[in-house]
Structure 1
Amino acid sequence: MNTHIGGVKRKKTSIKALIAVNIFTIVLAIIQGWDITLVLFIYWCQSIMIGGATVVKMLRLKKFSTEGYLIDEKPVLPTKKTKQKSATAFIIHYGAFHAAYLFVILNSFKEKNIPITDLLSISVIITLLFFLINHTYSYFINREEDEKKVKNIGTMMLFPYARIIPMHLAMMFGIHSAGIIGIIIFLPLKTFADTLMHNIEHYRKPKNIRIKKKVKSI
């Protein structure tokens, strides 16, 4: 019982820390007068961290479901090969998305004559370290409980994309060209998406899925 309570407290600490880091970013951005493009770069880096953690989680899966999941338009079995193929596909697709985002961000820096060295400022590095520490802590705190669940590998691949919806909208509607208004619109949306998807990923009860075992006839 005490172990369970301790685990719940640690998980709550994880989500509180995530919210705190997001709020820290918002406050720092406003106080230091950051350009929205710099904020987008920070969240781009955070998204890379989330993608990396997702790949690790996929490759560590022991039991998982492939219900409704297709590869090359064909249903697949929950095998090691499926797991590896899915992780590779995710890296390529997610990586392509983020390569495009990075191009837009760097191009915006160029258009606004913002020094690229701003990406290596102490404030930015500290913020990124906070995000890295938070996601690393969250991964290890939730790992044991997460690995007990029979997760759908297709759903796992979608979670990181849901967390970058605000960034995607920012690129689509040109918020990266906006000033303080862009920050006021974007940052609360990003914090909400972060918190919501973190809760869904770690606290949502998965469907009861039966793993079929192959029985060899004697």
Structure 2
Amino acid sequence: MRSIRFVLGLISLLLVSSIPLLGLLFGGWQAPDLLFCFWIESFVVGIFTMLKLAKYPDRFLLYFFPVHYGMFMLVHLIFLVAGAYLNFFGVPFVSDPISLVVGTFIFGLGCFGSHGISYLSNFLHGREWERRTNFYYFILPYGRILPMHLAIIFGALAGFAPLLLLIIKYVVDVLGYCLEHATLPHRSSVLRGQRYR
């Protein structure tokens, strides 16, 4: 049963990740458009992280996370907008406004659906919260998202092809998902923090 939940979440992740590929192939998207999509996904990840933190009785990290993560997201957004306005990436930020708006809206809904499936099937039904701490889930978004975004942003600045940037995201997404859900650490090896009681 656990393997079914794992595969279901992975399939939903891959399906959602294919939306930017469609925008790239048929919507005229460029690297900045992809970066904006990835920012939206980071926002969705933050929402589900708060839902996970709310499962634990200790509320400090639940209240601190939106402040800390929100600052990270704000700086990231400012960088994207400033980079697009100053043409850091060498291509227009919005290649096709209608395609970008429709595509990112569908992508955002898909992200909610994909992360929602993982949250319900793995975190709640799979009872992952019983073996992991609230601090683990607090730092998880940074360990998964920050390296990916740094690689993609610097790759875009270096002039890498958008398709290559998308491949980087696919690889990081799949590896991150597998590391998070494939194997759970033993209780003795879990990061310090408060477990669910």
Q: State the TM-score bracket (shorter-chain normalisation).
A: 0.7 to 0.9
How big is the shift at 1:167? 0.9
Match runs of 1:9-24 below 5 Å? 9-24=4-19
- In 2, distance between residues paired with 1:208 and 1:122? 44
Matched, 1:97 2:68: no
1:55 corresponds to: 50
- In 1, distance between residues paired with 2:86 and 2:152? 17
2:151 corresponds to: 169
Which of 97, 120, 125 is 1:140 aligned to?
A: 120
- For residue 204 of structure 1, what is the amino acid of its counterpart? T
1:214 corresponds to: none
Q: TM-score, normalised by structure 2?
A: 0.79
For structure 1, the 5+ residue unaligned runs are 62-79, 211-218
Q: Relative to structure 1, is the Cα distance of residues 115 and 23 closer, same or farther in structure 2, using a 3 angstrom cutoff?
A: closer
How big is the shift at 1:141? 1.4
- In 2, distance between residues paired with 1:188 and 1:116? 20
Match runs of 1:116-127 below 5 Å? 118=97, 121-127=101-107
1:109 corresponds to: 84
Which of 30, 36, 45 is 1:35 aligned to?
A: 30
Q: Relative to structure 1, is the Cα distance of residues 86 and 118 closer, same or farther in structure 2, using a 3 angstrom cutoff?
A: same
Q: Percent identity?
A: 21
Q: TM-score, normalised by structure 1?
A: 0.72
1:160 corresponds to: 141
How big is the shift at 1:44? 0.6
- In 2, distance between residues paired with 1:148 and 1:39? 32
Matched, 1:191 2:170: yes
- In 1, distance between residues paired with 2:173 and 2:28? 23
Aligned CA-pair RMSD = 2.6
- In 2, distance between residues paired with 1:60 and 1:199? 22
Q: Relative to structure 1, is the Cα distance of residues 86 and 44 closer, same or farther in structure 2, using a 3 angstrom cutoff?
A: same
- For residue 137 of structure 2, what is the amino acid of its counterpart? M
For structure 2, the 5+ residue unaligned runs are 191-197
- For residue 42 of structure 2, what is the amino acid of its counterpart? S
* Post-superposition CA distance 1:168-215 (Å, at most 9, x none): 2333x261573xx341332112112211122222222222349xxxxx
Q: Relative to structure 1, is the Cα distance of residues 185 and 207 closer, same or farther in structure 2, using a 3 angstrom cutoff?
A: same
Residues paired across the two proteins, number: 182
- For residue 190 of structure 1, what is the amino acid of its counterpart? K
